[in-house]
Amino acid sequence: MDIVAWIKDTGLHTWLAESVGWFPYPTTLALHSAGMGIVVGMSLAVNLRLLGVAPELPLAPLRKIFPFIWLGFWVNAISGVGLTFTDPDKLLNWMIWIKFAFLALALVSLRIIQSRVFGNPHAEEPLSEPSKALAVASIVFWVGVITAGRLSAYLGFS
Amino acid sequence: MLQAFIDWTIGTGLGTTIHNTTWAFPIGETLHFLGLSLLIGTVSLFDLRLLGVLKRLPYAPLYRLLSRWGVAGFVINLLTGIMFWFYQPDFYALDQALPFGLKLLFILLAGINVLVFYKTVYPEVMALGPEEEAPPLAKAIAGTSLFLWFGVLFFGRMIMYT
Q: What is the pLDDT of residue A5?
A: 96
Query: Does residue A158 fall inside a structural domain?
Result: no
Q: Flag whether residue A150 sits within 8 Å of chain B, measured between CB atoms.
A: yes
> What is the Cα–Cα distance from A97 to A102, expressed in whole angstroms?
9
Q: Interhelix angle for B24-51 vs A129-151, to 10°?
A: 130
Decide if B54 and A151 are in contact by the 8 Å CB cutoff: no
The pLDDT of residue A34: 98
Per-residue pLDDT at A123: 66
Is pLDDT above 80 for A124?
no
For residues B80 and B32, the answer to whether their CB atoms sit within 8 Å is yes
- Please judge whether B26 and A150 are an interchain contact, meaning their C-beta atoms are less than 8 angstroms apart: yes
Q: Where are the domains of chain B?
A: 2-161
Beta-bridge partner residues of A23 = A20
Are residues A107 and A40 in contact, defined by beta-carbon separation less than 8 angstroms?
A: no
B98 touches chain A (CB under 8 A): no
Nearest residue of chain A to residue B99 (CA atoms): A22
- C-alpha to C-alpha distance for B75 and B16, rounded to whole angstroms: 23
Mean pLDDT of A28-50: 97
Residue A145 near residue B33, CB atoms below 8 Å = no
The gap between the terminal CA atoms of chain B, to the nearest Å, is 23
- Tell me, what's the pLDDT at A14? 97
- Distance CA(A30)–CA(A36), nearest Å, equals 10
> CA of B59: how far to CAs of A1, A2, A111, B139, in Å?
51, 52, 26, 13
Task: Give tens-digit pLDDT for A66-82.
Answer: 999 999 999 999 999 99
In angstroms, the separation between the Cα of residue A30 and the nearest Cα of chain B is 5
- Angle of helix A25-50 versus helix A66-86 axis, rounded to 10: 150
Report if residue A126 sits inside a domain.
yes
B127 Cα to chain A: minimum distance (Å): 14
Number of domains in chain A: 1
Could you tell me the residue range of the domain that residue A135 belongs to? 2-151
User: Mean pLDDT, to the nearest integer, of B98-117?
Assistant: 98
Is the previous residue joined to B89 through a cis bond, with omega within 30 degrees of 0? no
Report yes or no for ipTM above 0.90.
yes
Q: For residues A127 and A59, what is the distance between their CA atoms, to the nearest angstrom?
A: 10
Query: Quick check: A121 pLDDT over 80?
Result: no
Please indicate, yes or no, if residue A156 is contained in any of the structural domains: no
CA geometry: angle A150, B155, B77, nearest 5 deg: 55
Helix (H/G/I), strand (E/B), else coil: B85: helix
Mean pLDDT of A111-135: 85
